[in-house]
Amino acid sequence: MLHVLSLDGATVATLDASSELSGWQIRDIVNKNLGESRAEAFDLVFDGHMLHDGDLLSNSGEMIVTIVWRSSPKIVTASKDVVSIFDSSGQKLQTCDIPQLVGVSFSPDGSLWLGSTTDGSVLIYDTDTGEKICSLKGSRRRAHNATFSPDSSMVLVPSPGCTALLYDARTGESLGTCCGFHTDVRLGIFSPDSSMVLLVSQDGFASLFSTPSGSTLRQMSEVGKWNSSVHFFSSSDLVLTVLRDGTGRIFDTTGCCRRTFRESGWLSDAALSPDDSKVLLVLSDCTARIYEIAGEGKISKSIALGDLGIYISPYPVCFSRSSSKILLALDSCEVKVVDSCTGDVICRCKGGKHHITSASFSPDGSQVLVSYYNSIPKIFDSTSGACLLDLPEHPSVVFMASFS
């Protein structure tokens, strides 16, 4: 039997653990028992360690999982040489000057944030104090491509010599080097359990590496070249990607292709729901399709999305944390929120006057944060589409904004 307790010892849920339960399944049951949507407003702790959504618990007698509530999410914005941190009400908490800034991101636990610059520097800061923790060095860049591991302990930084370096996020210590490409590393993502990293080179070749050593596990590119749409399943054993031949593929981590998605048009982007149950494919003709995944990449049904609007890759497209909603940023300066089960439009978030530079759901999925090329960033209600908040004026164009 699995008991889910709050920190004061109160029982939130009691579950039959006769079969395996994932962290996400436990989280979903807790949310239903609480009677409100609080996805990612709390962490689950088992046996002294954080329980990630993809982790599995098997029956082993009486087990206890504890809920640790998180504080309200913060918001980070990046403009020309300035990073600003806000609380959820729009109150500015910090401002940090970082010359030649190309991007920022929070660590998954929200305790750290990093800023990337064109000269290859990656600066890591403490979210609460604003103190700089360490400075890392990578290759010169025009786009933000440094990333935290899901457990927030490591940072991956593409580096000179067609390599990527793994660093300790809090000390800046070099942990390992991933190498073996003939061109520079374009992007890298960690597996949900932080045990692997998948790198894609500028010329479209992909390889899998172990962490933190950086040793090569295997090449993943035998069937075609990859673009920048790459997503790990929460189990860490499958990867969704879009290839440059216009198809979508699901690979296992041995490099074997488990599923190929071929549509009537060229695939330009893809997204994977956090619970692994749905795949969204966006086509170059501005249509889309939602596939329901039964397991092992098998399809149970699909839904076509009509009246999508003008979508141009790589505009933001993603699922909410609960997997119930889909966000699609369009070239009409609006964000469309869609029900992931029916394909029906829930709302349209309008208000910006210039093209969208970033868009994301809040952790609980109730809000949408949107930044524009030359407009004030806005927060919308993800059910009604009403604008809830305009973030304060910024010294220059905001090219990125996200929740912690």
pLDDT, tens digit (0-9, with 9 covering 90-100), for 160-194: 889 999 999 999 999 999 998 989 999 999 999 99
Whether residue 43 is contained in a domain is answered as yes
Q: What are phi and psi of 260, to 5 degrees?
A: -120, 130
- What confidence category does residue 39 fall into, taking pLDDT thresholds of 50, 70 and 90? very low
Mean of pLDDT over the chain: 87
| Top-confidence residue, 51 or 100 | 100
Whether residue 106 is contained in a domain is answered as no
Find out whether the peptide bond into 316 is cis, omega within 30 degrees of 0: no
Number of domains composing the chain = 1
pTM comes to 0.84
| pLDDT at residue 397 tops 90 | no
| pLDDT at residue 242 tops 90 | yes
Whether residue 32 is contained in a domain is answered as yes
Position 243 scores a pLDDT of 94
Q: What are phi and psi of 263, to 5 degrees?
A: -115, 175
The sign of the torsion formed by the CA atoms of 178, 252, 256, 297 equals: negative
Whether residue 266 is contained in a domain is answered as no
Mean pLDDT, rounded, for 255-263: 90
| pLDDT at residue 325 tops 90 | yes
Kindly give the pairing relationship between strand 278-283 and strand 288-295: antiparallel
The CB density around residue 176, as the number of other CB atoms within 10 Å, is: 19
Domain CATH for 12: 3.10.20.90
| pLDDT at residue 87 tops 80 | yes
Whether residue 337 is contained in a domain is answered as no
| pLDDT at residue 209 tops 60 | yes
Whether residue 341 is contained in a domain is answered as no
Whether residue 350 is contained in a domain is answered as no
Q: Which domain holds residue 12?
A: 2-69
Position 342 scores a pLDDT of 92
Instruction: Give percent of the chain with pLDDT exceeding 90.
Output: 52
Position 15 scores a pLDDT of 77
- 71: region left, alpha or beta (phi > 0 left; psi from -120 to 50 alpha): beta
Whether residue 47 is contained in a domain is answered as yes
- What does the block give as tokens for 305? 């999305």
